[in-house]
């Protein structure tokens, strides 16, 4: 029985959109009689999703704290990396490792450890920050890390190309894959009735990546406050307090509502479209779920958004995460709001030609066939 080890590198949050793929894959590997382990950060509070997973699959907890881990990456020189990463992998000795990165730089210490121990590995990159440029020593090691992988999976072509730009080198054996979604692939919810257009902003409350501050500032214009419009924010996150403050400051209580966490299938029963002003992304799960649910979307043209949206045909792309560009895209969408139902239907048809029905199963089968069959 081959021993498979999953290494999710997310050090900022115990659970998020980047965790669905590796978690579902770990379950599939376990159910297919692989000896499956998970090597995760030792969180003070374990989210329920990880609790249920660790009851089924053995978990190795590693004691990194965020600052130590982050510094260990940024100050990497020569062949040095946190010794605990090396010792942990040496003790476990998996036959194959799957390194799931929240951002395309997070897994470097694990790539290095796997390479030095002769453990074959693949990488998954969930997003790329196009404003972050690693220093020379880190770049050289990233080249080796990606080159040493059996395969490198990205959730968008744009993320792969940006990674190559950041390291000044090709990423070999690269492929675009997709994340599992939480809506019905075969049947879309009915398009909602009503004269007030309901827009859903589905994302953690995190201005740094999701850009809700830009959306709120755009909505502060008089024209938006006077239109039959409601923007519903779904999620939680570190910027919830300042979101409420900006809503109060810009007098947006009449056209905004903070809804917290609601299952995606329920969101699309009552909302006509998605709006997501991200500063950077991989390929937002919320966008894929909206399109599969036959809803149009107004999103910034970052990372993979433009790979699933045809501007003006299946959705609307803001050229950048600025108030001016977002307002331009919103205005373009607003002028054809009577066509959103038809645009959403076209969006659903198009995205189903791109995204497979079961992304986790697809990647499991690919890894099994390509690397574990011998």
pLDDT at 12: 67
Q: Cβ distance 230 to 198 under 8 Å?
A: yes
Please state which of the ranges 4-18, 105-119, 209-223 shows the lowest mean pLDDT.
4-18
**Across all residues in the chain, what is the average pLDDT?**
89
Question: Is the pLDDT reported for residue 61 higher than 60?
Answer: no
pLDDT at 71: 33
Q: Which residue has the tokens 């969101």?
A: 267
Which of the four pLDDT bands, split at 50, 70 and 90, describes residue 58? low
3-178+358-371 against 197-351: fold identical: yes
pLDDT at 65: 30
CA gap 153, 28 in Å, rounded: 18
Average pLDDT of the segment spanning 64-86: 41
pLDDT at 77: 34
Which of the four pLDDT bands, split at 50, 70 and 90, describes residue 44? low
Tell me the pLDDT tens digit for each residue of 338-366: 999 999 999 999 999 999 999 999 999 99
The per-type count for the chain, helices as H runs and strands as E runs, is 17, 13
Q: What is the DSSP letter of 201?
A: E
Question: Is the pLDDT reported for residue 43 higher than 90?
Answer: no
Place domain 3-178+358-371 in its CATH homologous superfamily: Glycogen Phosphorylase B; (3.40.50.2000)
CA gap 210, 207 in Å, rounded: 5
Which is higher by pLDDT, 106 or 248? 248
Q: What is the pTM of this model?
A: 0.87
CA gap 207, 366 in Å, rounded: 36
Average pLDDT of the segment spanning 222-245: 96
pLDDT at 17: 76
Average pLDDT of the segment spanning 125-146: 89
Beta strand 316-318 with 296-300 is parallel
CA gap 70, 59 in Å, rounded: 22
- Inter-axis angle of helices 83-92 and 108-117, to 10 degrees? 50
- For the beta carbon of residue 86, count every other beta carbon within 10 angstroms: 17
Encoded tokens for 330:
């919103």
Closest CA to 199 of 342, 340, 303: 340
Closest CA to 301 of 289, 319, 328: 319
CA gap 284, 289 in Å, rounded: 9
DSSP 292-315: HTT-EEEEE--TTHHHH--BTTTB
Q: What is the DSSP letter of 75?
A: T
CA gap 178, 126 in Å, rounded: 9
User: Spelled out in words, what is the top-level CATH class assigned to the domain 197-351?
Assistant: alpha beta
Question: Is the pLDDT reported for residue 84 higher than 80?
Answer: no
Q: In what order do the strands lie in the sheet with 273-276?
A: 256-260, 229-234, 197-202, 273-276, 296-300, 316-318
Residue 38's contacts (CB-CB under 8 Å, 6 or more residues apart) are: 5, 6, 7, 8, 26, 53, 54, 57, 58, 59, 60
pLDDT at 60: 60
Residue 322's contacts (CB-CB under 8 Å, 6 or more residues apart) are: 214
Domain layout of the chain by residue ranges? 3-178+358-371, 197-351
φ, ψ for residue 325, nearest 5 deg: -70, -40
pLDDT at 333: 98
Which of the four pLDDT bands, split at 50, 70 and 90, describes residue 146? very high
């Amino acid at each position: 029985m081959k021993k498979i080890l999953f290494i999710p590198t997310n050090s900022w949050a115990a659970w998020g959109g980047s965790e669905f793929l590796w978690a579902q894959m770990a379950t599939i590997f376990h159910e297919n009689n692989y000896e499956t382990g998970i090597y995760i950060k030792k969180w003070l509070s374990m989210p329920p999703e990880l609790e249920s997973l660790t009851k089924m699959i053995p978990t190795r907890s590693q004691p990194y704290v965020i600052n130590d881990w982050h510094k260990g990456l940024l100050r990497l020189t020569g062949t040095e990396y946190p010794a605990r990463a090396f010792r942990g992998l040496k003790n476990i000795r998996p036959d194959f490792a799957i390194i799931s990165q929240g951002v395309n730089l997070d897994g470097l210490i694990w790539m290095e450890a796997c390479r030095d121990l002769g453990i074959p590995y693949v990488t998954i990159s969930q997003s790329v920050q196009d404003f972050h440029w690693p220093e020379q020593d880190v770049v050289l090691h990233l080249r080796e890390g990606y080159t040493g992988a059996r395969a490198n999976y990205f959730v968008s072509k744009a993320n792969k190309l940006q990674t190559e730009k950041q390291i000044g080198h090709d990423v070999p054996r690269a492929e675009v894959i997709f994340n599992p979604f939480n809506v019905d692939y075969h049947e879309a919810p009915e398009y909602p009735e009503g004269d007030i257009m309901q827009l859903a902003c589905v994302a953690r409350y995190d201005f740094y990546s999701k850009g809700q501050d830009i959306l709120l500032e755009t909505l502060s214009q008089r024209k938006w406050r006077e239109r039959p419009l409601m923007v519903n924010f779904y999620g939680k996150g570190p910027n919830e307090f300042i979101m409420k403050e900006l809503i109060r400051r810009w007098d947006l209580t009449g056209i905004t509502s903070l809804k917290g966490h609601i299952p995606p299938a329920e969101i699309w029963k009552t909302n006509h479209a998605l709006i997501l002003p991200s500063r950077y992304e991989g390929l937002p799960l919320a966008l894929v779920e909206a399109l599969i649910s036959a809803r149009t979307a107004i999103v910034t043209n970052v990372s993979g958004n433009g790979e699933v949206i045809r501007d003006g045909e299946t959705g609307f792309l803001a050229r950048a995460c600025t108030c001016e560009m977002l307002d331009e895209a919103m205005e373009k969408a607003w002028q054809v709001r009577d066509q959103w139902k038809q645009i959403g239907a076209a969006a659903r048809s198009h995205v189903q030609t791109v995204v497979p029905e079961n992304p986790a199963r697809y990647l499991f089968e690919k890894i099994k066939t390509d690397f574990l069959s011998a």
